[in-house]
Amino acid sequence: MIYAFVEVCGDKQRDVLDDICLTLEDNQLAVNSYSVDTTFIPYFEQLKKQYPHLKILLSIGGGGRSATFEQVTENKHNRETFVQSTLDYLNKYPVFDGVDIDWEYPLTKEQGIGFAHLMQDLKVGLDALGEKNERKYINSAAVNTIDYLTQFVDYSQVAPSTDLIFMMTYDFYGPWTENNIGHHTNLKTHPHNTQQGYGHSVDAAVNKFISLGVAPEKLVVGIAKYARGWQGVTEHKQGGPFGTATKELYPASIDEAGIMTYATLYDTILGNKGEGKDGFEIRYDPHCACHYAWRETDAAVVTFDHPRCVSKSTICA
């Protein structure tokens, strides 16, 4: 189980952290006795009593919350401050079994080197704390898998000091790929997308990280608990919506255009049998080993992880 997110104080901290960080140093965790993370601690402790083997990780950063990592990794002193703050937190709250660094994203080679150094320093610190407390702490990271972002990180330098790599095997396609519609969390690469220049998939991500020097047993596939969609889609000449283009997003106005929670997906598209409702037909495409919803009346396509693909007890088809 991963608690997300705790953030970091620094020049690029979010405004909502100003009061907390006023009494803290840059590069320290943005936490105090009253920060929201502390309200979860008693519940995590109850879970641990019920499930003693459950591992709970503290995730630091997150989408829209990662800008301060640039400052953290600028030099050794900043990294040391961050690592010590993290170790102090773990020592104070022993319910946590380690950390997850969710930097979205290192965007230069220098930042990639800083990320590797950060994971190395954390590993040293966690091992020392583990020896002191007679336990094993987990050092993990959440990372994007697309070529544009993996190019900045040397994973052969990251992997040895990292116990788990949580792959963001989702958001492969979205509003930013309006000329190449694709399944946003597909298991296999769809040939229609490849023809347009994109070969994203879970399969491609796993093979890439293995080739980059990450041991297979360290890789964790990410499951998308939300859906992405479009409308006004003209199907491909060889069938299906993938590899085509449209600027219209579906749904147009729920929180964020083109995206919906799994609860909304279930209520408005999947239905309680997972077979479609309100005019939506649930289709399976073997090319991408993925399910999607299609509605003819508005040419709407919605992509998501179907329960059949997530559950071990069923076949993804």
Residue-level pLDDT at 314: 59
SS3 for the chain, per residue? Answer: CEEEEECECCCCCCHHHHHHHCCCCCCCECCCCCCHHHHCHHHHHHHHHHCCCCCCEEEEECCCCCCCHHHHCCCHHHHHHHHHHHHHHHHHCCCCCEEEEECCCCCCHHHHHHHHHHHHHHHHHHHHHHHHHCCCCEEEEEEECCHHHHCCCCHHHHHHHCCEEEEECCCCCCHHHCCCCCCCCCCCCCHHHHHCCCCCCHHHHHHHHHHCCCCHHHEEECCCCEEEEECCCCCCCCCCCCCCCCCCECCCCCCCCCEEEHHHHHHHHHCCCCCCCCCCEEEEECCCCEEEEEECCCCEEEECCCHHHHCCCCCCC
pLDDT on residue 315: 63
Whole-prediction pTM value?
Answer: 0.94
What domains sit in the chain, N to C, each tagged with a CATH number?
Answer: 2-168 (3.20.20.80), 227-310 (3.10.50.10)
Section 209-219 average pLDDT: 97
pLDDT value of position 230: 97
pLDDT tens digits along 57-71 = 999 999 999 999 999
Report the percent of the chain where pLDDT is more than 70: 98
- Checking if the pLDDT of 256 tops 90, the result is no
pLDDT for 46: 98
User: How confident is residue 312, by pLDDT bands cut at 50, 70 and 90?
Assistant: low
Give 137-172 pLDDT, tens digit per residue. Answer: 999 999 999 999 999 999 999 999 999 999 999 999
